Amino acid sequence: MSDVGKVPDQVRPDPLLICSNPPSLRYGATSSEESADLKFVCGENRMSTSILTEHPVQESRRTIWNSQLLVRLSSLLAFVGVMIYFSLAAPLFLSYSNVLNVVQQSAVLGVLAFGMTTVFISGGAHVISGGIDLSAASNMGLSAAIYASIIQAGGTDWIALPVTLLTGLIIGAVNAGAIVGLKIFPLLATLATMNICAGFELVLTQNTVVPAASPLLTAVAATGSFAVPNIVYIFFCLAFFLIILIEATPFGLRLYAVGGFREAAIAAGIRVNRDVSASYLISGVCGSVAAILSLSLLNGSSPGAGEILLSVVLVALLGVIVSRRSVPTISGTLISSLFIGFLVNGFQLTNVSSYWVNGVQGGLILLVVAGSSFSRRAAY
């Protein structure tokens, strides 16, 4: 309120000082109706002099960010609590080999979730119209089936690897085309490609296990230096690469802008369609990379890869909690995939029926979604 002294003609009782803090002051408002409301409420407030310093505007917004902070802190506490509980209940839990085992087991889920996260980033948070890649898991299934079939037919890694990666890329491109070109909601577009992938996989494998052994798969499954499985190295390298790409390059920043407020991104001259397409291509490639990891873990392709889909969505959603801005991040997804891995592993070590895992995962989804939509409601 330091200005008040300087400009006495402005000090008029303002019954509505708070009017410059409209409930409709939302960010990422896309409809013109909303921005008009915003205008309506906060116009004509120039008699209040203190916006820059301490203004009531800030108040409720602070509580919004605080509520998000609360969600974040409590979930981090839950994470730490779970880890402590399991390490007390099962002494093996935090042993070197078990931790590595957990990381290795989490790699497939994590890699798929990286792709999902990228798509979340570029698509925004809207549940219906926002970005999502439902084809992620069945993409992995199909890619794995193709790799295994090529090996079965006598092909080498030099053929199987590029073909598999190309498969993922093509699936990503089909998704991108449907979403950007045909303007189909990602939820529906990727639902369709999910079924296409699952169908092709069945045609290819006749719903059977296709064993695959090849030098590359053996090498991937092998243990590298420091007794760390190579899968763990691959997992972490991919995470590192994506963290750099998404969090340190202009491309990543633009991806966040597109997902955060599409109109603003367009106004900033960003080629929105190209960036959204890129995110689906990344997700597609993540699908085929995950396929190679799962092939080497399972020694072949097996039906039912699609079942992992919901866990992938969960992990990518859960990662949001870790971020200061409450947005999806690759590092957050990395942490949450490890958390789910430790959770499953802890259940196994403490002899809790693995059937509980599903229930806990479902509960977590509810918590995360409720937490984030709660904070979003408050923000409006």
Partner 1 sequence: MPLDTATTVSGLAVSGLVKEFDGIRALNGVNLEVAPGTVHGLVGQNGAGKSTLIKILAGIYQPDAGTIRMNGAIHSRLNPPLAEKLGIQFIHQERLLVPTLTVAESLYLGAEPRVGSWINRRSMNEQAVTALQDYFGLAISPNKLIGELSAAQQQTIQITRALLRKTSILVLDEPTATLVKREVDLLFQTLQRLRDDGLTVIYISHYLNEIETLCDRVTVLRNGVDVATVEPRQTPMSAIVSLMIDRNIEDLFQKRSVTLGEPVLEVRELAHRNAFADVSFTIRQGEILGITGLIGSGAKEMVHSLFGLERISKGQVLIDRREVRLSAPSQAVRSRIAYVPEHRREHGVALSFSVRENMTLASLREHSKAGILIERSERRKVAELIAKLSLLAPSQDAPVRQLSGGNQQKVVLGKWLSRESALYILDEPTVGVDIGAKTEIYRLIGELAGQGAAILVLSSDLLELLGLADRILVFFRGKVVRELDASTADHDALLSAVTGVNDQKPDRAQKSTDYADYTDLVGQSRRVG
Binding site for partner 1 (CB under 8 A): 3, 7, 9-10, 14-16, 18-23, 25, 27-29, 32-33, 35-36, 38-52, 55, 57-58, 61, 65, 244, 248-250, 253-254, 256-257, 260-261, 263-265, 267-270, 325-327, 379
Query: Closer CB to partner 1, residue 200 or residue 380?
Result: 380
Shortest Å distance, C-beta 280 to partner 1: 20
Shortest Å distance, C-beta 121 to partner 1: 10
**Rounded-to-integer distance, Cα 31 and Cα 130, Å:** 15
Query: Closer CB to partner 1, residue 28 or residue 155?
Result: 28
Query: Closer CB to partner 1, residue 26 or residue 83?
Result: 26
**Rounded-to-integer distance, Cα 288 and Cα 240, Å:** 18
**Rounded-to-integer distance, Cα 28 and Cα 156, Å:** 50
Shortest Å distance, C-beta 39 to partner 1: 5
Query: Closer CB to partner 1, residue 11 or residue 192?
Result: 11
Shortest Å distance, C-beta 46 to partner 1: 5
Shortest Å distance, C-beta 72 to partner 1: 14
Query: Closer CB to partner 1, residue 154 or residue 269?
Result: 269
Query: What are residue 317's phi and psi, to 5 degrees?
Result: -70, -45
Shortest Å distance, C-beta 379 to partner 1: 8
Query: Closer CB to partner 1, residue 35 or residue 101?
Result: 35
Shortest Å distance, C-beta 24 to partner 1: 9
**Rounded-to-integer distance, Cα 151 and Cα 228, Å:** 27
Shortest Å distance, C-beta 22 to partner 1: 7
Query: Closer CB to partner 1, residue 39 or residue 377?
Result: 39
Query: Closer CB to partner 1, residue 185 or residue 261?
Result: 261
Angle at 22 between CA 21 and CA 28, to 5 degrees: 105
Distances (CA, A) of 46 to 12, 20, 49, 285, 344: 11, 9, 7, 53, 57
Query: Closer CB to partner 1, residue 58 or residue 354?
Result: 58
Shortest Å distance, C-beta 118 to partner 1: 15
